[in-house]
Structure 1
Amino acid sequence: MARRNSADPPNPERVAAFGLGLSAESRAAAYLVAKGYRIAARRFRSPVGEVDIVARRGRVLVFVEVKARATLDAAAESLQTRQQRRIAAAAAAWLSLNPHDIDKDIRFDAVLVAPGKIPRHIPAAFEAE
């Protein structure tokens, strides 16, 4: 994949996808808050990966991957093993920067988002390898 020169105009498809992703993450975060979660971070980035949402509820620390597609089923099918490994690595980076969270129960969830549908929260969508 060629790197984009900073002088080149942005790819319209990428710009649209980025905006869609931010909107989906906002919907997912609002949905989790309505379910009693507190959002600790959004778009946590580390050198080894990114987590869309880090949330807490009680003694549980949740690393959430948000998937937005045309349908909820398509969103569910889009969570790949490679992404799961990067999310788990980013979670480890989070824990190294936030040692007060080490004693929490850790879980990896997904929130699926599709136009015109209520987001679907999948607790324990995958386990870290």
Structure 2
Amino acid sequence: MMAKKTENAFMRRLCERKGRRAENAAALWLQMKDYRILDRRARTPACEIDLIATKKNLRVFVEVKMRSRHETALESVAPGLRRCIEQAARIRTTSRHKLQNHNWRFDIGLMSSGRLPRHMPDAWRAEN
């Protein structure tokens, strides 16, 4: 039983490290495309937003996924996760008055071993 808990903790830490590396790579990729990173791992009561970036008068909420293939990374951004991120974005936008006057959108950063990052601007639209 103890070995199983230790193994689970190890795997959790390993996934956490991979996720941080993927988020750092996605942030760098966005910066190379003239985005400015405002926040990383922004926590809200709804959920965590991996990256919040800006470019001109646009605020971008980015979900970063690292998988063995871009296709499986994209599939992992399921409708439930999207709704959670939308809720978190609403919380962040209403709690920070200076964000209320900006346009915003939802992007996905796809990361796969041995491949360049893929940025999917305006990956989905918020449900009203």
The reply to whether TM is greater than 0.5 is yes
2-structure distance, mates of 1:73, 1:47:
29
SS in 1 for 2:34: coil
User: Can you list the C-alpha shifts for 1:42-95, whole angstroms capped at 9, x where unaligned?
Assistant: 000011111000000001100000011001111111110000011001101111
2-structure distance, mates of 1:103, 1:26:
28
User: Can you list the C-alpha shifts for 1:15-66, whole angstroms capped at 9, x where unaligned?
Assistant: 1111110000000000000000000000000111110000000011000000
1:1-129 → structure 2 map (5 Å cutoff): 9=6, 11-129=9-127
2-structure distance, mates of 1:97, 1:43:
16
- Give the total of aligned pairs: 122
Q: Which runs of 4+ in 1 moved over 3 A?
A: none
> Identity percentage over the alignment?
36
Shift of 1:128: 1.1
Shift of 1:11: 1.3
Aligned twin of 1:5: none
2-structure distance, mates of 1:54, 1:98:
13
Aligned twin of 1:4: none
Amino acid at match of 1:57: K
Q: What TM-score comes out, normalization by structure 2 length?
A: 0.91
Q: What TM-score comes out, normalization by structure 1 length?
A: 0.91
What residue ranges of structure 2 are gaps of 5+ in the alignment? none
Shift of 1:97: 2.1
